[in-house]
């Protein structure tokens, strides 16, 4: 990229701030981070060293398992010249009943930032409240902002713009990906449509707040039970697993409810001819998406997965 996505990039200062949801960032801050991610990616491709965080340490607390989140943050810190420490419930006293208050206060004395991947969003909010170092939401049941920042970066790289594009999410609307996609899309001027079964619609508060933003950016938010209607004219098609972590006992019921929401060739005929397909992975081929789509010519899922690294680095560089 030869120029910034925003005009006043030097006015952006995220140092010391938390990264809990995209709703808490301004449109310019999101565009700035995408811009930074693309530049850091190019530096890596060019073989340029970029030790912006030399001597810095990131503490990573995992209450949910992970592949992309752990590796991207750990490798990202290493490439930025710093280090990362992996902490599971079995490794720290939080898993034995120590309070978030005590854990956050103590870890803040040791590390320069905390990344937390957990269940309740209130957990990362509590860590942010009591921590004296930046706290990054690596995933909660309500939001997945680091993933969606990488998604927006991927869309920009393939479409060369964000504003005015239409994104369609098909599947469980009441999950962290749908919520963060809604928040991120309206912030950058994208239209978004959500197709979900009754009983699985997005969080009302998330939609209400996003609609306020959309009124200012000119974006639209559509929500329906009809996937064929929602995907019409889509530039970007997104889905996620039908059963997320912690919902395993609902698997059979969910498969029955969500079968009509599978992203397949027939459904995607209604998207724009040059649509791109995104999936945060892991994917279950034959369930939420067919192999012909996720492994087909419209799929950019591995570019998307790679961009987790670069988006994470942009967040780390600017917060730490």
Residue numbers belonging to the annotated binding site for L-ornithine: 176, 240, 244-245
Single out the catalytic residue among 79, 141, 147, 168: 147
Q: Name the residue among 267, 301, 315 with its Cα closest to residue 151.
A: 301
Catalytic residue check, 144 = yes
Single out the catalytic residue among 79, 112, 117, 254: 117
Catalytic residue check, 117 = yes
d(CA 280, CA 114): 22
Catalytic residue check, 79 = no
Single out the catalytic residue among 18, 280, 310, 312: 280
Q: What is the DSSP letter of 263?
A: B
Catalytic residue check, 147 = yes
Single out the catalytic residue among 141, 172, 240, 310: 240
Single out the catalytic residue among 298, 308, 310, 312: 308
d(CA 292, CA 313): 32
Angle, CA 12 vertex, CA 22 and CA 208 arms, to 5°:
25
Query: How would you class 270 by CB atoms within 10 Å of its CB: exposed for 0-12, middle for 13-18, buried for 19 or more?
Result: middle
Cα(first)–Cα(last) distance of the chain, in Å? 24
Catalytic residue check, 168 = no
Binding-site positions for carbamoyl phosphate read 66-69, 93, 117, 144-147, 280-281, 308
Catalytic residue check, 161 = no
282 preceded by a cis bond (ω within 30 of 0) = yes
Binding-site positions read 66-69, 93, 117, 144-147, 176, 240, 244-245, 280-281, 308
d(CA 139, CA 298): 27
* 60, 77 Cβ separation under 8 angstroms: no
Single out the catalytic residue among 121, 143, 144, 254: 144
Please report where in the chains the tokens 């990488």 appear, as a residue: 150
d(CA 119, CA 46): 38
Q: Which residues are catalytic?
A: 117, 144, 147, 240, 280, 308
């Amino acid at each position: 990229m030869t120029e910034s996505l925003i005009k006043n990039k030097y006015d952006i200062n995220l140092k010391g701030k938390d990264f809990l949801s995209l709703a808490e960032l301004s449109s310019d801050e999101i565009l700035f981070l995408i811009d930074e991610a693309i530049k850091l990616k190019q530096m890596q491709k060019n073989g340029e060293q970029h030790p912006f965080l030399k001597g810095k340490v990131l503490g990573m607390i995992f209450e949910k398992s992970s592949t992309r989140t752990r590796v991207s943050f750990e490798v990202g810190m290493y490439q930025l010249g710093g280090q990362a420490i992996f902490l599971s419930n079995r490794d720290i006293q939080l898993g034995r009943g120590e309070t978030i208050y005590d854990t956050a206060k103590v870890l803040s004395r040791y590390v320069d930032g905390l990344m937390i991947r957990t269940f309740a969003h209130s957990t990362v909010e509590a860590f942010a409240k009591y921590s004296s170092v930046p706290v990054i939401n690596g995933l909660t049941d309500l939001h997945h902002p680091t993933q969606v920042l990488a998604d927006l970066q991927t869309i920009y790289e393939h479409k060369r713009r964000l504003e005015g594009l239409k994104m369609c999410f098909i599947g469980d609307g009441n999950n962290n990906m749908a919520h963060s996609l809604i928040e991120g899309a309206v912030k950058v001027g994208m239209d978004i449509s959500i197709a979900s079964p009754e009983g699985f619609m997005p969080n009302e508060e998330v939609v209400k707040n996003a609609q306020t933003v959309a009124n200012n950016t000119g974006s639209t938010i559509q929500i329906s039970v009809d996937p064929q209607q929602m995907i019409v004219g889509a530039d970007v098609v997104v889905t996620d697993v039908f059963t997320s972590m912690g919902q395993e006992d609902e698997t059979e019921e969910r498969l029955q409810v969500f079968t009509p929401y599978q992203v397949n060739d027939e459904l995607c005929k209604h998207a724009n001819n040059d649509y791109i397909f995104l999936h945060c992975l892991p994917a279950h081929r034959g369930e939420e998406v067919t192999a012909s789509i996720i492994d087909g010519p419209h799929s950019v899922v591995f570019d998307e997965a790679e961009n987790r690294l670069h988006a994470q680095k942009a967040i780390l560089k600017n917060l730490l």
